[in-house]
Chains A and B, each alone.
Chain A
């Protein structure tokens, strides 16, 4: 009785889901399903909607070129609504009910942490496209965003160089959660190894959604006036960036005096800001929309055309950014691994993906590391322009291998592979 009822429930549920999510479910045998797990509502929708868009665009592009192993890809889009436990629920639904071969999704570290056990239990694949704090390595997850040594550390090295203004004092400013706290722990250890004293580091956190930065800006000014050249390293995330930068502009803290380098602010986030007072502030990423190369030109024009065709709001002003590029690269990495393994089986794909290469819009040929599930990525440092784009002022000569376990945190020695 019990089982029959659950069975009927499951049947009704899956039928209704099929009806909503998969209008071409009739040809299920000829397609490979892939899941897209990004928040389309709630606080993170601002960042994650674009990733859903770029994933759909990439899948369309792959299908137009004949699909994967002759089979069309069929995207299954779900909305975890910026609700962390819901991420786990939706991930389970994608894997168990929709039988997707791989999932592309998540943005915040806390959402990734909440789905990790699901992917482990059901032995499926997650491609995570956002820069993060490291200190994690899951067999079932591939990280196509940057680890701290591919973003944070080079940015601080740049600030300390003559070109970057020879900064001697640092303000570590962040939103109060796992990513900024861990990144700042790594940065503090790094700065100490470079001979920066504790008195020359100011660390401050604000709650999620904090919108009044008057006191913090005043504190930064006070700190900067106390002596040597100061720089601010911002791991402020999400909506708080707009009031922070507005206050910065109005308080007259110019980039030439106290530069702010941000790790979570890109082209998409700056769409909500009047950037004229922010010219010269910095961001560190592995990709900028202004990077000049044929792959990037094609990527941008494809995305613009896709946005227009699909009626994305404000389609004529859409921008591309680092996590979008990482999503694009991630889907192609998976495709190549599936074709190399001649199967979508999780273990076979994991075995085949190490060493795959892809000519990415960032202008480099990126390699998936053989052991640590991260991409080798180039690092760019850009300065904000008046039009909300970035001028690249520094870049690495070649892609850098990721160190998910930072050598600047005690106890990480020898923890580099799986």
Chain B
């Protein structure tokens, strides 16, 4: 009981002592070793927010191993202050940040420095400055890329040093770009000129703004002077702006077409199953959206199994989920067809109501078993990120994969419908049920199978949706209208119609959105469909022949 206060006294004395020695050393260091000494830099963390940012920048310029150690600690949230001294928390011990020697301070006494966005950004820049001297080419390249965006004048000597030593062309060009960005505000006109020329290689609208700033005048009326006094530099800047503009415009058009294709492929995946069950079999299936939901939930279960049992293969869970999602949704489809729909063939109104009821049952069932929350499905690493066409236009990998997946599913269905016996039976039953029955086609079984396939394809749609949208009990509700829109617009009974309608709607919607905003675009698309259906009720493609009108 006694020992506690004594120990406390001892500790605090020790602390005071070390503090005194520490600050004395910092003071002498700054006298002897100049302003860049590590102790001085580190003491910046004891100051206000801006002095912390300055300290991080200085660490990046310093580049020593000790500086790196401090930065790593800061990034991990282990750098803190204990009685005005900058320290690093290392497990149970507390180290002095500048020297690395162990202190007697208790971990609980350390007030760690909060790492927020601004600090994180400064750390990334400083880390990149370190990585410029790495022997690994990929590391140097990514470091140079970060510095291209964030570098400040302080880092110019570091960049120039690295540029001198750099052997690799790709890294070198990124570095010279970064240097050019800084040199644009150099006092030397020759440097500004070469910078303005070099930046013509850019496709970044932000660089364009930097160049455009040179072409402005300061002051009013006739007494106005150019911000950039040298005419040659201005001409180079103008030429560079023109090339950047051209490049950005092309990239943006490509980006819009791509996002239209991507939206179209999602609409297609949502609608393909319906194109079979509604388009081909004539069942108005209001529970179609919930079949998408079943597919997405099946994907979630597969992800859970992979997380628990095959964590090393987690990146490939999406592939394993393809058959699971298909069969899970197909099974639900079979049960629906056997128990409910088969009694309602030829009575569209009743089947509409019955399937709507089924959709509510399925939503509530999902809510009761999995909870009402959205489920977290993470993109595998090979589906994260994207290809950068130009600054600002990124084609995300998950969307590229989904476009490919939609094409794959479409091919599969086409092969099934055109090349297999089952497909032939389905087409026969669709065209003339009594006649198909007469020649020995088991129509009841074909109905069940066709419905199962349509449902399974909806499950695949759900799998794809899980990679970009949210997965929750009511997720299907958002797609049912879109799916019917696509099928009706494309022409009932036609797979090709669904493809054209989905892609067309996607691209039109995206161009409208860019022009008028999302809310107006949605309204315009619906108005367009209403007008189109009034003028051409059979859709883009119509079934030709005897049964088209019945």
Contact = CB atoms under 8 A, between A and B. Distances in A.
Interface of A: 40-43, 45-46, 49, 162-165, 176, 204-207, 209-212, 214-216, 218-219, 221-222, 225-227, 239, 241-243, 246-247, 249-252, 255-257, 259, 268-269, 271-274, 276-277, 280, 282, 312-314, 383, 391-394
Given A218-B256, A219-B514, 4 more contacts: A209-B478, A212-B263, A242-B374, A255-B120
Contacts of B363: 41
Interface in B348-370: 363-364, 367-370
Contacts of A383: 116-117
A389 to B, nearest CB: 14
B262 interface: yes
Contact of A165 (B118, B386, B396, B517): B118
B43 interface: no
Most buried by A among B118, B384, B471: B118
Contacts of A43: 474, 477
A206 B370 CA distance: 28
A274 B376 contact: yes
B255 interface: yes
B116 A393 contact: yes
A70 B77 CA distance: 49
Nearest to B472: A46
Contacts of B364: 41
A214 B263 contact: yes
B429 to A, nearest CB: 35
Given A243-B469, A252-B385, A252-B386, A221 B392 contact: yes
11 contacts: A162-B50, A218-B256, A218-B393, A221-B393, A225-B205, A227-B206, A241-B470, A242-B469, A246-B468, A250-B399, A272-B472
Given A162-B49, A215-B514, A250 B373 contact: no
A161 to B, nearest CB: 9
Contact of A226 (B121, B209, B259): B209
Contacts of B471: 272
Given A214-B262, A250-B386, A164 B118 contact: yes
Contacts of B371: 49, 312-314
B49 A163 contact: yes
B351 to A, nearest CB: 24
A294 B388 CA distance: 48
Interface of B: 49-50, 114-118, 120-121, 124, 149, 204-206, 209, 252, 255-256, 259, 262-263, 266, 363-364, 367-379, 384-386, 388, 391-394, 396-399, 468-475, 477-478, 510, 513-514, 517-519, 522
Contacts of A215: 256, 259, 510, 513-514, 518
A276 B394 CA distance: 19
A227 B386 contact: no
B164 to A, nearest CB: 29
B386 to A, nearest CB: 6
Contact of A313 (B204, B266, B370): B370
Nearest to B206: A225
Nearest to B386: A250
Contacts of B375: 272
Most buried by A among B266, B391, B394: B394
A273 B209 contact: no
A195 to B, nearest CB: 20
Nearest to B379: A274
B124 A256 contact: yes
A227 B209 contact: yes
Contacts of A274: 376-379
A410 to B, nearest CB: 26
B379 A45 contact: no
Contacts of A391: 114-116
B470 A280 contact: no
A206 B519 contact: yes
Contacts of B393: 218, 221
A280 B117 contact: yes
Contacts of A241: 470
Most buried by B among A176, A251, A257: A251
Given A271-B376, A272-B471, A207 B394 contact: no
Identify the 4 closest CB pairs spanning chains A and B, nearest first: A272-B374, A313-B371, A242-B470, A274-B378
A250 B513 contact: no
Given A162-B49, A247-B468, A277 B117 contact: no
Given A271-B373, A272-B470, A314-B373, A225 B209 contact: yes
Given A205-B518, A226-B209, A250 B378 contact: no
A243 B465 CA distance: 10
Contacts of B266: 212
A250 B394 contact: yes
B468 A280 contact: no
B371 to A, nearest CB: 3
B514 A252 contact: no
Given A242-B374, A250-B398, A277 B384 contact: yes
A226 B205 contact: yes
